[in-house]
Structure 1
Amino acid sequence: MCHSVSDPRRLPTVKNNSLLKGDGSPGSVREIPRRLSREQIFVLISAASINFSSMMCYSILGPFFPTEAEKKGVSNTVTGMIFGCYALFDLLASLVFGKYLVHIGAKFMFVAGLLVSGGVTILFGVLDQVPEGPVFIAMCFLVRITDAVSFSAAITASSSILAKAFPNNVATVLGCLEIFSGLGLVLGPPLGGFLYQSFGYEVPFIFLGCIVLLMVPLNMCILPNYESDPGKHSFWKLITLPKVALISFVITSLSSCFGFLDPTLSLFVLEKFNLPAGYVGLVFLGLALSYAISSPLVGLLSDKVPRLRKWLLVFGSLITAGCYMLLGPAPVLHIKSQLWLLVLILVINGISVGMSSIPTFLEVLSCAYENGFEEGLSTMGLVSGLFGAVWSVGDFIGPTLGGFLYEKLGFEWAATLQGLWALTSGLVLGLFYLLEHSRRRRRSKLQNILSIEEERTALLPGEM
């Protein structure tokens, strides 16, 4: 049975919510029911399914596709481009889908994205039958790009629906759902590798594609259908807001840090510590698990103590910068590289990235409302699309630049330079928040003085 929740009276307001604005004013938060409604549970199930499946489809290629591509005569450079084009087209699609979310319909965009993604995932499994050379390369690009666009549609719609369904607990819900993203990243490579070794190239993609397709009828029935009027504002107005631009810079630096590890960390671990190839994945496990476990806690803290969000963003970036300078570690620190230290730093890095990434959606959304953006699904779509776009920018730059710096300078210096990017973004955003706080204090003092002067002026005739 499909549900419609277009009646605005059934939805708590977000615009004047102190959890969103962080003003801490009493009485501005509506009473939140302790129990989730049925439609909220359905939204959570839908969002969890897309988070899990998208990360599985994204990460399943890693263990075996480069080897298969090499058999088809594809160079390492072109293979890297096949991987990298996902982030590039995810960027472009996020902007388009975020802008036209209301026109297309959030539920339709979600379900259609799932349907197309399941189909092209299965299609990826038959590419080994395609003739080698330019035809194989062209088909790989076409399927990978279509997969990126389809999942971008589903993820953009999912984030907007979540913000609409949980207006008072956005960060908590987003943080909890990152558990499923982390599980997808953790389980994707080993599951793909096992199925590949046991059954060949086709089975991992067919298996995963069928699971995604099974989610289509499920979500058609249980996902609520939110409706909203088209908004008048654009991405350009949103991204040119100074606070939003700086937060976008932070998001890009964080995703670049994550992406940097894909082509570099495994090579460094194999070379430095002589670990068997099977143990390299366990090194990545510390990063993924710490991120997945800490994200719900960070989300809960962001919702319960809104004024902490900005400082979670700043200190998360600064801690991330310190982690990357210690990954090698940086040659200037003269610290010996040890495996236990590397794993510990990755665990801390997973927590710090959660600190910085989870509060960003609410921070951008509150800034948009403060600057006149209309409340509703259209603005949530813009924010969701913007987040996906700027994350994809870093996801594209990180592996590309990281691979180049690793080859030219070595892992130690490459990681250090990556850390400097996170350090710069954290310091600049922290300085902006301090200046903003100072301006607000001066404005508050000025308003108090003016109110006192008005009271004196009103009392003067009576005194005379």
Structure 2
Amino acid sequence: MIVTAIVNQRFMPPVVKTVEPDVRTSHMLRCFAGARENWLCLLIVFFYSFDFLTFESCVAPYVDRVLGITPATLGLYFLAATGSYVLTSPVWARLADACRNPYPMMAACILTVTVGTLIIPPSPLLGLAPRWWLFGLGMTLQEAFFGGAYIPCFQQMLQASVRRGLPDDLHTHAFVSSVYWSVYSLGTVVGPVSGGLLVDSFGFPVMMTCVAALTLLLFLLTLAQAVATSCRGDSRPADVTDERECAPA
């Protein structure tokens, strides 16, 4: 850490103080909350941390009892699944940059995550017996495809906020980032608590079925946004007409 601090100090460019416009927090909140896309992206960010932390906090006792997977072997499953995220995340980022409307891609990824969540236990709705390969396949689908919905969210939120009237500067970037990570952190808290309660009451397969149902609802909301954006050709006109509502007094 000391070496890193010295290197950063050596190569960091000098900071020049500039006069920034005075933008009130209430104005930024009003503009941010006025964009529907921001609410959807926040839901995706929330469910991203919610889904994974709920699963990770409750999975070990279940797989040890039902599948005989030891903690060391479970670590290999996580290694392989996380590796799929590492490999696919640059692809999702490139596709998101290339797409004028990334929401169809995001909706397809969320639907795939729903399928992966259902086959991990597997869900009682599927009538399948637990198998190690179903468990590994479900984990891989979760990790590999959730990034396709999660990665574009920050850029979409930033663009929507700017179209609503916020300046495209460091203040707006910091504000959007703070909301983004606050919602992410909320998912990491709510997930393990609610997941633990469901596992204690109904068992791990039922808990994962509930998570899959919530993820399916998120898919429907993202699909609706994809259709709405495609029907108007671009989200810009609808947001630009509302910029006057966010104009600072």
TM norm. shorter chain > 0.5: yes
Structure 1 pair 417/223, CA: closer, same or farther in 2 (3 Å)?
A: farther
Mapped pair 1:322 → 2:111: no
Q: Distance in 1 between matches of 2:30 and 2:61?
A: 40
Query: Is the 2:53–2:192 contact (alpha carbons within 8 Å) kept by the matching residues of 1?
Result: yes
Q: Which of 147, 150, 155 pairs up with 1:354?
A: 147
Structure 1 pair 327/333, CA: closer, same or farther in 2 (3 Å)?
A: same
Q: Which of 52, 55, 61 pairs up with 1:267?
A: 61
Q: Which of 51, 60, 74 pairs up with 1:280?
A: 74
Q: What aligned pairs does 1:289-368 form with structure 2 within 5 A after superposition?
A: 289-303=83-97, 305-368=98-161
Q: Distance in 2 between matches of 1:409 and 1:241?
A: 38
| Percent of aligned positions that are identical | 22
Q: Which of 2, 5, 8 pairs up with 1:219?
A: 8
1:375, CA displacement in angstroms?
1.3
Partner SS state of residue 246, structure 1:
helix
1:280, CA displacement in angstroms?
1.7
1:213, CA displacement in angstroms?
4.1
**Which structure would you say has the larger Rg?**
1
Structure 1 pair 244/283, CA: closer, same or farther in 2 (3 Å)?
A: same
Structure 1 pair 369/418, CA: closer, same or farther in 2 (3 Å)?
A: same
Q: Distance in 1 between matches of 2:106 and 2:15?
A: 30
1:435, CA displacement in angstroms?
2.5
Q: Distance in 1 between matches of 2:228 and 2:68?
A: 49
Q: Distance in 1 between matches of 2:85 and 2:64?
A: 24
User: For 1:11-52, what per-residue CA distance to the aligned partner results, in whole angstroms no more than 9, with x for missing partners?
Assistant: xxxxxxxxxxxxxxxxxxxxxxxxxxxxxxxxxxxxxxxxxx
Structure 1 pair 222/309, CA: closer, same or farther in 2 (3 Å)?
A: farther
Q: Which of 413, 417, 425 pairs up with 2:206?
A: 413
Unmatched tracts of structure 1, length 5 or more: 1-211, 445-464
Structure 1 pair 336/226, CA: closer, same or farther in 2 (3 Å)?
A: farther
1:308, CA displacement in angstroms?
4.7
Q: Distance in 1 between matches of 2:217 and 2:170?
A: 33
**Worse overlay, 230-239 or 316-325:** 230-239
Letter aligned with residue 340 of structure 1: W
Counterpart position of 1:397: 190
Query: Is the 1:230–1:378 contact (alpha carbons within 8 Å) kept by the matching residues of 2?
Result: no
1:241, CA displacement in angstroms?
2.0
Q: Distance in 2 between matches of 1:225 and 1:316?
A: 42
Q: Which of 363, 382, 391 pairs up with 2:175?
A: 382
Structure 1 pair 370/289, CA: closer, same or farther in 2 (3 Å)?
A: same
Structure 1 pair 226/272, CA: closer, same or farther in 2 (3 Å)?
A: farther
1:236, CA displacement in angstroms?
4.6
After superposition, the CA RMSD in angstroms is 2.2
Mapped pair 1:235 → 2:235: no
1:425, CA displacement in angstroms?
1.5
Unmatched tracts of structure 2, length 5 or more: 238-249
Query: Is the 1:313–1:360 contact (alpha carbons within 8 Å) kept by the matching residues of 2?
Result: no
TM-score, structure 2 normalization: 0.84
TM-score, structure 1 normalization: 0.47
User: For 1:393-416, what per-residue CA distance to the aligned partner results, in whole angstroms no more than 9, with x for missing partners?
Assistant: 111111111111111111111011
Structure 1 pair 308/437, CA: closer, same or farther in 2 (3 Å)?
A: closer
Of structures 1 and 2, the one with the larger relative CO (CA 8 A, separation 6+) is: 2
